[in-house]
């Protein structure tokens, strides 16, 4: 029986990585694998930078690595992928985002090049690489000559679920977001709210950029229609999602592989709560394909404020009629089922 060590970052508040790995761990245990979890302490920004430039394996991780057969980690942060590649064991890297693309926008170019060089070597040498969309698989195949396995993101339909008798606010939109990143692009939505009477917006999530959105709502005169509840644990999300009529996802309109090739995990949670999706962002994105091919909402390409306001009114008007279909689509993306695919791959290594 394989012994598998899962290496995850120690910041548990980062839902995207902690939730995805949680279901992978459960799937691995369910097929009888011996699974351990190692919390990698990222440290301060300075110490993290030193680790990127001069990667090494912590003593306790090296010891645990010697006692295991296969190592699983998830990226970003790519530091974990680089680190596990140094252990001399079989390893699998789950890639959730194209970190190297957006890193170029916020970090010095010479640093990104050094880090990406090490990161790409770790991906090339991996026994398996997992990605979340077909476009990501194509991106890494063309870039690195590898053949990633696609395991989509998903939701837990057992946790995110609404009572049939739930009383929704027909005029309430919800945005679930990590406001530590500046990529939510909610400015157009807030401005469009000024054109739609009585519509309200609920913001779920915390982070340093939340205050700027609340300040903009104040400036636009719609603060009385925008409410923030801060960070909400995953197992309590239903309480808020089930109050709403539709879910909204904004992406920057930039031509960037990060925005084009990935699908925000919040979409799957919206669907599990029976929420049709209003999304906007760049053209030809995976998010657009998902929304339109599954008929779960409206996708707008670089819309005007008038187009957003009209889409809000339109989707709210037909939201109730869409709920049963939206819930069926959510069922296809249950994380427990998706985790089985990874368990099969690791079992065969």
The angle, 0 to 180 degrees and rounded to 10, between the axes of the packed helices 99-106 and 109-125 is 170
The answer to whether the beta carbons of residues 201 and 191 sit under 8 Å apart is no
Supply the pLDDT for residue 118.
96
Both tokens assigned to 162: 């609404």
DSSP letter string over 226-255? EEE-----GGGTHHHHTT-SEEEEE---S-
What per-residue confidence (pLDDT) applies to 11? 65
- Output the pLDDT for position 15: 58
Burial class (CB in 10 A: 0-12, 13-18, 19+), 124: middle
Strand ordering across the sheet containing 297-301: 226-228, 200-204, 172-176, 246-250, 277-281, 297-301
Q: Do the domains 3-154+334-347 and 172-331 sit in the same CATH topology, yes or no?
A: yes
pLDDT of residue 87: 97
Q: Per CATH, which fold does 172-331 belong to?
A: Rossmann fold (3.40.50)
Residues in the chain, how many? 349
Query: What 3-state DSSP class applies to 55?
Result: coil
pLDDT tens for the chain, residues 1 to 349: 789 999 999 865 555 677 889 999 999 999 999 999 999 998 888 898 899 999 999 999 999 999 999 999 999 999 999 999 999 999 999 999 999 987 877 778 888 899 999 999 999 999 999 999 999 999 999 999 999 999 999 999 999 999 988 899 999 999 999 998 888 999 999 999 999 999 999 999 999 999 999 999 999 999 999 999 999 999 999 999 999 999 999 999 888 888 899 999 999 999 999 999 999 999 999 999 999 999 999 999 999 999 999 999 999 999 999 999 999 999 999 999 999 999 999 999 9
> For the domain 3-154+334-347, what is the CATH code?
3.40.50.2000
Distances (CA, A) of 164 to 50, 60, 242, 319: 52, 49, 10, 15
Q: Return d(Cα 288, Cα 284) in angstroms, integer.
A: 7
The domain ranges of the chain are 3-154+334-347, 172-331
pLDDT of res. 216: 98
Q: What is the pLDDT of residue 182?
A: 80
pLDDT in tens, 205-232: 999 999 999 999 999 999 999 999 999 9
Pairing of strands 149-150, 90-95: unpaired
pLDDT of residue 115: 94
């Amino acid at each position: 029986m394989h012994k598998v060590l899962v290496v995850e970052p120690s910041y548990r508040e980062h839902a995207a990585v902690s939730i995805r790995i949680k279901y992978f761990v459960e799937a691995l245990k369910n097929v009888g694998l011996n699974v351990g979890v190692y919390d990698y302490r990222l440290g301060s920004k300075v110490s993290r930078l030193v680790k990127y430039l001069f990667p090494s394996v912590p003593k306790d991780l090296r010891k645990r690595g010697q006692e295991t057969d296969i190592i699983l980690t998830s990226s970003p942060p790519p530091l974990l992928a680089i680190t596990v590649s140094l252990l001399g064991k079989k390893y699998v890297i789950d890639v959730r985002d194209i970190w190297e693309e957006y890193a170029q926008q916020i970090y010095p170019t010479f640093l990104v090049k050094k880090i990406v060089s090490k990161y790409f070597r770790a991906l090339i040498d991996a026994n398996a690489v997992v990605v979340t969309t077909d476009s990501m698989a194509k991106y890494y195949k063309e870039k690195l000559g590898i053949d990633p396995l696609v395991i989509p993101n998903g939701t837990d339909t057992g946790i995110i679920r609404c009572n049939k008798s739930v009383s929704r606010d027909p005029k309430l939109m919800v945005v679930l977001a990590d406001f530590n990143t500046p990529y939510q692009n909610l400015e157009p939505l807030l401005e469009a709210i000024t054109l739609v009477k009585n519509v309200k917006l609920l913001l779920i999530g915390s982070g340093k950029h939340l205050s700027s959105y609340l300040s903009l709502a104040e400036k636009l005169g719609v603060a009385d229609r925008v409410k923030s509840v801060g960070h909400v644990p995953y197992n309590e999300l239903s309480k808020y999602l089930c109050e709403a009529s539709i879910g909204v996802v904004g992406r920057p309109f930039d031509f960037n592989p990060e925005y084009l090739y990935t699908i925000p995990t919040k979409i799957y949670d919206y669907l599990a709560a029976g929420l049709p999706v209003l999304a906007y962002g760049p053209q030809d994105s995976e998010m657009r394909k998902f929304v339109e091919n599954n008929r779960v909402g409206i996708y707008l390409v670089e819309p005007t404020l008038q187009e957003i306001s009209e889409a809000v009114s339109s989707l709210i008007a037909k939201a109730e009629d869409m709920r049963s279909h939206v819930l069926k689509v959510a069922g296809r993306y249950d994380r427990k089922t998706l985790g089985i695919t990874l368990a099969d791959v690791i079992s065969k290594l």
